[in-house]
Amino acid sequence: MTGPTARPTVWLTHEFLAVMLGVRRAGVTVALHLLNAKGLIRSTRRQIVILNRPGLIEEAHGSYGAAEEEYRRLIGKDLAR
């Protein structure tokens, strides 16, 4: 991310994202297309640009941050440093 109008960008392939999530690549592609159609992201070859982070959080229906909150509850520390 560079410059005052730069957007957060994730550089990875659909295949790598599928491996990280433990799902089929085709499912990742469908999900990215849906998020793209809703104007939440822009997905191109090996690049996902976050256009609307609050919208992505809302789209997650309460699952965003759940793992981090559980870690904080159990360990008592913040994961981010």
pLDDT tens, residue by residue, 8-20: 999 999 999 999 9
The model carries a pTM of 0.75
Give the whole-angstrom CA distance, residue 24 versus residue 38.
Answer: 22
Domains (range + CATH), the chain? 9-75 (1.10.10.10)
What's the N-to-C CA distance of the chain in angstroms?
19
Confidence of residue 67 (pLDDT cuts 50, 70, 90): confident
Do 23 and 60 form a contact (C-beta atoms < 8 A)?
Answer: no
Q: Is pLDDT of 64 > 90?
A: no
